[in-house]
Amino acid sequence: YACANDVSARWWQKKGSGGQFCRGKSFDTFCPVGPEIVPRDAVGDPQMLSIRCRVNGEVMQDANTADMFFPVASLISELSRSTTLAPGTMILTGTPGGVGMARTPPRYLTDGDVVDVEIQGVGTLTNTVAFG
């Protein structure tokens, strides 16, 4: 298990890509993972972990993996029906509510923002946004 920051370029998804959603999640540096990979046995029940995202120290998302639409075991089972899941394959399970574009007013990341993704028993991934 590891923390991942599944970054999205919302402008690109809405206006720059002609409606092609996936491209707005596929730029270089858009999916940092880490800071380490934690073995399954060290995590315990993957459906009972708190998960948080903070931007510049402000909590933006605060949930529990118990709230996931599909349990981790079900995701692995379904994906493996049609895809070979080789050792080292990463599966990102989705994001809790609270993403910036869904807020009123919307909040988007800006150059220099510090984003922390924290999962109980897994760790904290910290990244600084750098517009290039």
Taking the CA atoms of the chain, what radius of gyration do you get in angstroms? 15
Contact 122, 51 (CB under 8 A): no
Task: Name 126's bridge partners.
Answer: 116
Q: What are phi and psi of 12, to 5 degrees?
A: -65, -40
Instruction: Let me know: does 60 contact 53? Beta carbons within 8 Å.
Output: yes
* Structural domains of the chain ordered from first start: 36-128 (3.90.850.10)
Short-list 13, 1, 7, 12, CA closest to 28: 7
Q: Is the pLDDT of residue 3 over 80?
A: yes
Tens digits of residue pLDDT in 53-105: 999 999 999 999 999 999 999 999 999 999 999 999 999 998 888 888 788 99
Higher pLDDT, 25 or 115: 115
Tell me the whole-structure pTM to 2 decimals.
0.86
